[in-house]
Structure 1
């Protein structure tokens, strides 16, 4: 090898060694002795010739540090998060997830639960309508019937004869041929006579019989005459009578006609037809408390 060639080779080796020594900091970093105070920045950086981000988290004093991947600009940069920073991130995630969950639940309610509620409301309204139709049909089947109450019950009695006797007491003449059938209603009672159900052959006879109620009251008859109402309408009429007796209620009078129930709140006012219990709420009826 010539003298010039050897000199050039030695110069290249010297330059590479100098560049290598200047680019690598061989001073070891003691990460365990590093101390951080609250006055310092929330992010601290440690420089090391080896990629410490591949190591497990290290304990820095009383704080647990998280080591992230190296920054593109510096392959040996490590980000340190304090405990309160981690807690702040966790709280922020909780709020974010809570809002997202609430949004998902609200969407589910609107898309799935609400249609079910609407269908349930529709079905309830349909049931109420069908029950009303059934009650109306049941009441119509009793169109020619009346109830005679407070008549002494005898072992060998004839209920047709009792009905004819009550009619004569009120000034109405009827014959056995006007009566389709009659009988006591329900099981025998100890201290109270059962009502007598009378079904007439024609609606006209039943209508004429209902007209003698006023004459019976004037003559102080022991008999009481009422229409044969369904259970629902009978209870509704009973609530109307309770309102009439209540001094706090505006109901002045109540009666039935052809199975329908009416009330009056003014002496010369119009009569009001009552179809359901809800119609009585405005007059003082409380569905949760019986009025005495």
Structure 2
């Protein structure tokens, strides 16, 4: 996948560990978690993940986040679905978001940080 889809040449020695997470889905696909030999390899792969956007095999790359940060991502996904957030992403475990395409990125540290994107009349 790295060679063909991301145009990154890595070897088996660049991967310290990898294993499936969970059970295969109906199509027989399973999530994998990988630990790389060093952060440069990980960052190189992670920086090319956009190449997988719209991938016919539906491959994607995400960071392994804590449950706390996954909760923030879930809130951002809801806000994006409602049109309150333009985009969000993670980098080295940190979460960033943009309200519009042209706005500056914000570091999201707490679930309450997502509230600033939601209009007051919609908050409960």
State the TM bucket, normalised to the shorter chain.
0.7 to 0.9
Which of the pair has more CA radius of gyration? Answer: 1
Q: Deviations over 1:127-158 (max 9, x none)?
A: xxxxxxxxxxxxxxxxxxxxxxxxxxxxxxxx
Matches within 5 A, 1:76-155: none
RMSD: 2.2
Give the Å deviation of 1:170: 1.4
Q: List structure 1 segments (4+ residues) > 6 angstroms apart after TM superposition.
A: none
Runs of 5+ unmatched residues, structure 2: none
Of residues 277, 280, 283 in structure 1, which corresponds to 2:111?
277
Q: Deviations over 1:67-105 (max 9, x none)?
A: xxxxxxxxxxxxxxxxxxxxxxxxxxxxxxxxxxxxxxx
Contact 2:72 2:114 in 1 (8 A): no
Match of 1:234 in 2: 70
Q: Does 1:167 align with 2:15?
A: no
How many angstroms apart in 2 are the aligned matches of 1:171 and 1:254? 24
Give the structure-2-normalised TM-score: 0.84
Contact 1:167 1:212 in 2 (8 A): no
Runs of 5+ unmatched residues, structure 1: 1-165
Give the structure-1-normalised TM-score: 0.38
Higher relative CO (Cα under 8 Å, sequence separation at least 6) belongs to 2
How many angstroms apart in 1 are the aligned matches of 2:9 and 2:24? 31
Which has the larger strand fraction? 2
Which has the larger helix fraction? 1
